[in-house]
């Protein structure tokens, strides 16, 4: 998200109970072994109908706890992933449907991103439509630590045209998680009467979209609002309206907005104030590659100043140390920078930029908001000042997205700088932060990224030198080093 956050939602999982309950005849699903009682030697999970979609053998397996059958997912490291799922077919439906899931989950010493439930929804050709998980933005809602069995619930809207649903269970990280007692209920969205609270909440979100969305002139806001009000229905609290807001943002995709997303009130609060995640952050890395200083920049999720400073200081300290080793150039690797919060990226890399204004975010009314290194100097404890301008090779690729692309653009027009690799992801819109009544937040694609020279970007950013790397993943780096050797 830009306007200090970027990102992209992540996929995950979920499970259900022994037999499916369907409250309408227009939607039917067939799921099996939802109580995990049927063992199967031919399945990599040891459970009939449940396939291992992600993780090594044994990561997801049949188990029991207190004599009750369950699905056990175990991770050995904080970057381990275990994911078990199955697919159910949806009968053709012309209207929106709710799907509500519940699961009884127990966690033991879970570290990393955590355990989650998720629903993935697909069309008749198997194309991904949408998903819902507990994690939300930056995985803030996932289960970590240790806790006894507790029931978790998840509610999503199944759009018209959906053909299948994938359900499963996942653990991103270290520890053990046991899943049991799953349930699902399905119900139509039609004929729900919106409460006064629902009308107020949904109307505020629609007004924001009408004023600020990049696709505001393409959408039928009246029709979208009508559907969202049915989804919110007789809402008694703001959280009851969340599926309606998620539906609104999902509906913008058909008009070209694939970047907007929603942050629940609790997630928005955690994003700004949570300091406990500093020790679990993925920090930038650095090293010498021959005569050149190499900087690897990952994504960054968080708005807490302590986290921002820790990330930015890591980059600047690496620049300081490499600069004292007599290097002849820089290699900035942005190929894994999938976005998040742009602030610590710009703050950390600041000494390598040679202009005050690095780019602009241009809104639907043509107003330009510049971003600069100086704006983020307060995020750095001991700012580095370089005494010499060295050539810079910037490595980019398909995983560089959102705020990662902000950084790519910041180097465009930089002296003695050239980019190598593959085109970027193409999330070159800035997400403005628009708070709702309860503190929940619309991260709405509301600006277009523009470089310091005034060129706007409406899709992937092309490198100065495009390099295929299918046979040799290192040939992008090799070519960058070759170029640096010839730069003075």
**Tokens standing for residue 297:** 């920049």
Q: Which residue has the tokens 């600041």?
A: 350
Q: Between β-strands 429-435 and 441-451, what pairing exists: parallel, antiparallel or unpaired? A: antiparallel
Say which residues have a Cβ less than 8 Å from residue 194's Cβ, sequence separation at least 6: 202, 229, 230, 232, 233, 234, 235
Give the containing element (helix H, strand E) for 69: strand 68-75
Cβ contact 446:432 at 8 Å: yes
Measure the CA–CA gap between 407 and 336, rounded to whole angstroms.
Answer: 12
Give the pLDDT of the chain (488 residues) as one tens digit per residue: 444 333 333 333 233 223 333 333 333 357 888 899 999 999 999 999 999 999 999 999 999 999 999 999 999 998 899 999 998 888 766 689 888 888 999 999 999 889 999 899 999 999 999 888 987 766 678 999 999 999 999 889 998 888 889 888 999 999 999 999 888 778 889 889 999 999 999 999 999 999 999 999 999 999 999 999 999 999 999 999 999 999 999 999 999 999 999 999 988 888 887 765 555 678 999 999 999 999 999 999 888 898 999 999 999 999 999 999 999 999 999 999 999 999 999 999 999 999 999 999 999 999 999 999 999 999 999 999 998 999 999 999 999 999 999 999 999 999 999 999 999 999 999 999 999 999 999 999 999 999 999 999 999 999 999 998 766 768 999 999 999 999 87
Measure the CA–CA gap between 414 and 391, rounded to whole angstroms.
Answer: 10
The backbone region for 437, taken as left when phi is positive above 0, alpha when psi lies in -120 to 50, beta otherwise, is alpha
Question: Quick one: pLDDT at residue 279?
Answer: 57
Cβ contact 305:103 at 8 Å: no
- Residue 300 DSSP label: B
Q: Report CA torsion sign: 443, 447, 448, 452.
A: negative
Measure the CA–CA gap between 93 and 125, rounded to whole angstroms.
Answer: 16
Question: Quick one: pLDDT at residue 481?
Answer: 96
Measure the CA–CA gap between 226 and 5, rounded to whole angstroms.
Answer: 30
Domains of the chain: 51-188 (2.60.120.260), 196-258 (no CATH), 272-485 (3.90.226.10)
Q: Residues 5-43, buried b or exposed e (16+ Cβ, 10 A)?
A: bbbbebbbbbbbbeebebeeeebebebebbbbebeeeeb
In SS3 terms, 216-227 reads as: CCCCCHHHHHHH
């Amino acid at each position: 998200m830009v306007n200090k956050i970027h990102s992209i939602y992540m996929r995950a999982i979920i499970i259900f109970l022994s037999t499916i309950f369907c409250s309408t005849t227009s939607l039917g699903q067939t799921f099996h072994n939802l109580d995990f009682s049927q063992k199967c030697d031919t399945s990599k999970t040891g459970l009939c109908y449940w396939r291992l979609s992600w993780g090594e053998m044994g990561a997801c397996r049949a188990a029991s706890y207190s004599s009750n059958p369950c699905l056990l997912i175990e991770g050995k490291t904080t970057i381990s992933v275990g994911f078990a799922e199955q697919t159910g077919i949806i009968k053709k439906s012309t209207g929106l449907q709710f799907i509500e899931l519940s699961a009884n989950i127990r966690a033991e010493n879970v570290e990393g991103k955590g355990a989650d439930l998720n629903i993935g929804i697909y069309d008749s050709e198997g194309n991904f439509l949408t998903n819902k998980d507990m994690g939300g933005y930056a995985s803030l809602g996932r289960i970590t630590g240790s806790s006894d069995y507790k029931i978790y619930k998840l509610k999503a809207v199944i759009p018209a045209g959906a053909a299948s649903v994938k359900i499963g269970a996942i653990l991103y990280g270290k520890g053990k998680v046991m899943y049991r007692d799953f349930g699902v209920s399905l119900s139509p969205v039609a004929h729900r009467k919106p409460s006064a609270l629902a009308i107020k909440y949904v109307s505020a979100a629609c007004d924001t979209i009408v004023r600020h969305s990049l696709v505001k002139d393409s959408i039928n806001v009246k029709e979208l609002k009508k559907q969202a009000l049915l989804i919110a229905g007789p809402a008694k609290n703001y959280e009851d309206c969340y599926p309606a807001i998620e539906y609104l943002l999902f509906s913008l995709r058909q008009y070209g907005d694939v970047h907007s997303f929603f942050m629940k009130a609790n997630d928005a609060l955690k994003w700004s104030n949570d300091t406990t995640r500093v020790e679990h952050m993925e920090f930038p890395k650095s090293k010498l590659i021959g005569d050149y200083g190499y900087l690897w920049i990952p994504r960054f999720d968080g708005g807490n100043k302590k986290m921002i400073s820790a990330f930015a200081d890591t980059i600047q300290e690496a620049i300081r140390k490499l600069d004292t080793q007599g290097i002849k150039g820089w290699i900035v690797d942005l190929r894994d920078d999938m976005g998040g919060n742009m602030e610590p990226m710009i703050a950390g890399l600041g000494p390598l930029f040679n202009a005050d204004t690095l780019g602009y975010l241009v809104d639907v009314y043509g107003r330009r908001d510049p971003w600069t290194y100086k704006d983020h100097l307060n995020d750095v404890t001991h700012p580095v000042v370089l005494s010499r301008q060295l050539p810079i090779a910037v490595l980019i690729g398909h995983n560089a997205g959102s705020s990662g692309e902000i950084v790519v653009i910041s180097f465009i027009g930089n002296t003695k700088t050239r980019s190598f690799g593959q085109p970027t992801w193409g999330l070159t819109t800035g997400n403005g932060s628009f708070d709702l009544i309860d503190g929940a937040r619309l991260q709405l694609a509301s600006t277009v990224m523009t470089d310091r020279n005034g060129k706007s970007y409406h899709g992937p950013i092309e490198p100065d030198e495009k390099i295929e790397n299918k046979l040799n993943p290192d040939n992008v780096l090799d070519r960058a080093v070759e170029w640096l050797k010839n730069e003075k």
